[in-house]
Amino acid sequence: MTAQTVSAPSTPMTAQTVSTPSTAVAAQTVSTPSTAVAAAGTTTTAPTRTAGSSGAVGTSRTRLEGRAKVTGAARYAGEVPFAELAYGWLATSTVARGRIRSIGAEPVLAMPGVLAVLHHENAPRLKPGVGMMGPDATLQILQDDRVPHVGWPVALVVAETPEQARAAAEALVVTYDEEPHDVVFSSGHPGLHAPDGGPRARTDTEKGDIEAELAASAVVVDEEYTTPEEYHTAMEPHAAVARWEDGRLEVIDSNQGSHAVAQDLAKLFFLDATSVRVRSEHVGGAFGSKGLMRPHLIVAAMAATVLDRPVRVVLTRRQLFSLVGFRPATAQRIRLGAEPGGRLRALDHDATSFSSTINEYVEQSAQPSRVVYAADALRTRTRVVRLDVPTPSFMRAPGWAPGSFAIESAMDELAEKTGLDPIALRLRNEPEVGPASGLPFSSRNLIPCFEEGARRFGWTDRDPRPGTRREGRWLLGTGMAAAAHSAGTAPSSASITAEADGTFTVRIAAADIGTGARTALTQIAADALETPLKTVRVKIADSDFGPAFLAGGSMGTASWAWAITEAAAALREKLAHVDQIPGEGTTARADTTELVMAMRGQERYAFGAQFAEVAVDVASGEVRVRRMLGTFAVGRVVNPLTARSQLIGGMIMGLSMALHEEGIRDIASGGLVNGDLAGYHVASNADVPVIEAGWVGDPDTYNPTGIKGLGEIGIVGVAAAIANAVWHATGIRHRNLPIRLDRVLTAGTAIENGGAGTY
Ligand code: MOS
């Protein structure tokens, strides 16, 4: 999902493709904020319109399924009704490490409505070694007696009603042979090692002599920054219904990619790929947690197979905190060495995080340091330790989000030490080519983001001195940070049918996880077919539509749009040469695998500049973000309305990361203390100030659609911008997230005593 396949388009654009990205994007500038005020006090950005054959791309459109969603007509995986539906409820382990000694199924089977208790001794056997991105042992549910963490599935209870299933699962007595566990992460953990998860996980880079350059530097920053466990907390819990119908395993699931999930499900159950169909028409948020197949679907398929009737499994909010991934805690040491004028001689980013004993997921937090700044010597290093905890996974801007907190905080500290304006410091270290790779950028419009953002935010006259602006009990400050995120493209396939009635049906196994993807793809198809939007119907999220990339890695729209554009070209070609048979449709298919595989040799990223203003009361510990502004270079923008929603959504998640989110692990039990929405704090409307998001022109024809993707970059850099603003307000650096009340209070005491430090 984070893998990046990028390169120049190998084929010239044909007349059938959508309007040329260079013209389309050139027309986009940061739009003026309209006076219209949307929910949560955010201001909207006026829509921009770009050239396009039928003008659909670049025009703001509300979601095509919006009415169905707000009226409840849209059904999610947990809601679709079936006759004879049975309900599964997971029982999960209460110990962090050990073996299951016994499962007291007998008394539970006698409870009202209970149909089955599946566990490691009676559940269907699964094929080992299956996984979307290599063997994924988190899929091996109910296969053996080993318990790798608190919250691991130990049984599935199936009953006639969800209430009966829940009561029985809660009554199930499971005993364990416990073993000592280790759930405590730090950058000094002796188990830290170089990732062993294959070439993609091994990402260390080294250029120049880092120690020599540091020794020769007039100004040095050497600090450790930490981020805690963070959880996706998508609104819709993971849910699936599985049933056998006409010899096929038919599934309705909540995921980010129906085709990939169907492939894995087939393999796992020793089935032919054509015997499995997965659909996920509506998905209520994911943020990475629904990218891979998850346990709810596996146990639903097991139960449907054993009972030969439809079975639904919905995870509880608490179960989501141990079964669908999370962002692991990170500890990152940054060493910067600079000349007095701010030019970097050395940049060293040493990132550590943890994974489970089941799978080695590696949070690639050093990524931004390979991309954003030039330095004579550059070193990035990533280490991981395996603990007795649930398996972490991709979470919005994996690596980029926690990594940017570290490097963008350190750059602010360097600005302070060199007496430079934070933007001026960054301009001084703008690279010509990829700092680690030496490869050219497909496009790099970070500087326009700084300039446009600074102008709109009102950065120019900023007094750099910290702790000097007071408004009643509040100290005020502003901060900024750079943002970057990879903008890759992955193979996808699509088909388009010219229907006999003059309309078009597009089929692609894309996922709309709440982003507006369905609407954006309809706009893309309308322009590619040069037909009005209302004549195009886009069907998504059905594995029968063929391979398509996940809604992940900020690659969904770019990858799917290319496939649709190719299919449209093929259809137009076909219609020009073939007489349409009256009453029948004509269909063309396209698969971009070869086109994508031919791409190489450039680095491709979206960029951005984040600005924040905060008010801090050091006596109460409160930090209030008063306003935020993000300016981005994200290639071509398909639907300005939903693009803005994506960007401010990411920025709000970044605010939440800066001030609130923190999974707290109990050393004694090994479980989370706050694994629910009461204890795990997520920013609510009252925390969210006026937020503006806009974009600058960013022509990029590397992928011929010109789309870079913008689902993740919104969160990148926000936590640093806020922490930098808190420093500007108070003079205190917060190098550990989140910037909690107690940390601010401790800092406040230090200010009174004239001291400074890390909190
Ligand atoms: Mo996203 S974290 O790549 O699903």
Query: How remote is the CA of residue 98 from the centroid of ligand 1, in Å?
Result: 32
Instruction: Return the best residue to mutate from 290, 293, 396 for the ligand 1 pocket (most ligand atoms within 8 A of CB).
Output: 396
Closest C-alpha to ligand 1, atom 4: 288
Per-residue HEC secondary structure of 550-585 comes to CCCCCCHHHHHHHHHHHHHHHHHHHHHHCCCCCCCC
234 CA distance to ligand 1 middle (Å) = 12
- The H-assigned helical ranges of 619-732 are 640-659, 718-730
Atom of ligand 1 nearest to the CA of 555: 3
pLDDT of residue 11: 30
Say what the pLDDT of residue 13 is: 29
Half-sphere exposure of 473 (CA within 13 A, CB side): 9
Query: Is the pLDDT reported for residue 578 higher than 90?
Result: no
State the Cα torsion 294-85-125-177 to the nearest 10°: 70
**Which residues sit with their C-beta closer than 6 Å to ligand 1?**
1, 256, 287-288, 291, 394-396, 398, 552-553
CA of 326 to the centre of ligand 1 (A): 11
| pLDDT-derived band at 757, boundaries 50, 70, 90 | low
Position in ligand 1 atom list of the atom nearest CA 286 = 4
Separation of 288 CA from ligand 1 center, angstroms?
Answer: 4
Mean pLDDT of 58-82: 96
pLDDT digits (tens, 9 = 90+) for 318-374: 999 999 999 999 999 999 999 999 999 999 999 999 999 999 999 999 999 999 999
From 416, 566, 661, 712, active-site residue: 712
pLDDT of 759 higher than 80: no
- Taking residues 183-195, report their average pLDDT: 97
- Per the structure block, which two tokens stand in for 426? 């960054």
Give the integer Cα–Cα distance in Å for 314 and 240: 7
Question: What per-residue confidence (pLDDT) applies to 34?
Answer: 34
Q: How far is the C-alpha of 719 from the C-alpha of 628, rounded, in Å? A: 11
Ligand 1 midpoint to CA 325 (Å)? 11
Q: Is 712 considered catalytic here?
A: yes
Report helix, strand or coil for 130.
coil
User: Can you tell me whether residue 647 is helix, strand or coil?
Assistant: helix
pTM: 0.92
Q: Identity (one letter) of the amino acid at 505? A: T
Task: Give strand pairing partners of 482.
Answer: 609
- Report the C-alpha dihedral over residues 561, 554, 66, 638, rounded to 10 degrees: -50
Residue 312 or residue 33, greater confidence: 312
The DSSP symbol for 125 reads P
pLDDT in tens, 634-651: 999 999 999 999 999 999
Give the position, in ligand 1's atom list, of the atom nearest the Cα of 290. 4
